[in-house]
Chains A and B, each alone.
Chain A
């Protein structure tokens, strides 16, 4: 059976927490706690989300790699990128532009439906070094990973790819 890291209850809770905090809690109870909750939630689920993207890319490219190693790499990249965005203005600017670009299609559709011209708007990210207290939570993503063995391979390659990569696998699935 495929192992889906985003379906882990902790990951689901972190995603729910991000949505609730960004759209309800922050505006109702602004303060230190709600200011950090989204960062903590992101540190937990984003490495798993990034891993799913990397795994999908691996499927398309028919590349085999160690699942746990890939997840650890996703966690490390997430932590480094988060630290840069929160402490280094050029990284923050780049991330704001990237996030604005990711939002653009939705905003463009909304604008067109309203009879207006689509416009690009960058996202708003607050630089705050104290947000780095969320960094250790990236370890939660690794801890709840379903990939326990160091040489565990990505396990949802197409059957033909699996045969190609693991010749002795046969047709039992």
Chain B
């Protein structure tokens, strides 16, 4: 299929993008790397009447240190995250997960801000940032606000991001030397995860185990109580309702969540 008809506008600055969003409201979509939005449009799951291209905006790209955090511009591409020396040293979970997104072409175009705003529960970066206790900086007509990743995802492809807001930055605490683990179970090398598990600093995030990336709270609590990794991992699917779809049965997903959590925690502890 081909996308429904739409208009295309190129934003020249973040403020210009916000102004265009204000004018078009719900009818507009921001276009960055386009690697989630354009497929959705081709399938007519998204039919924006206006595309506001923000890919060329200056100052929204790159990785830097800021106090106790690493701050990542929203337009930073997955490939750049995977290759970032700062992330490699201080948030290696994020760099690793970014390096597993799709294939090199996708990593060359897709952006971290786009991936989080798209809020696909099967994507790599939402779970990695959730486990990392990350945050997003959102810019709107009234200024900027900071939202914890914990509070960002509200449902299947849904977030607290308002139609007139733009993700400008993503942050994650610097964790030099902290143990981390990331497990991704796929049919093919370049597929979305059937289930993914990310862990660092005692937090465990599950991908594709529900409508959003979500915390394996029972596992985290068990770990905090001093439970062994195998015992804590057994609780990974508690409280989740994974779907049965083309790729896997829900029960199999729950099994994978337990196994992958054990492996990720073991890797983090090693």
Partners in one complex: no
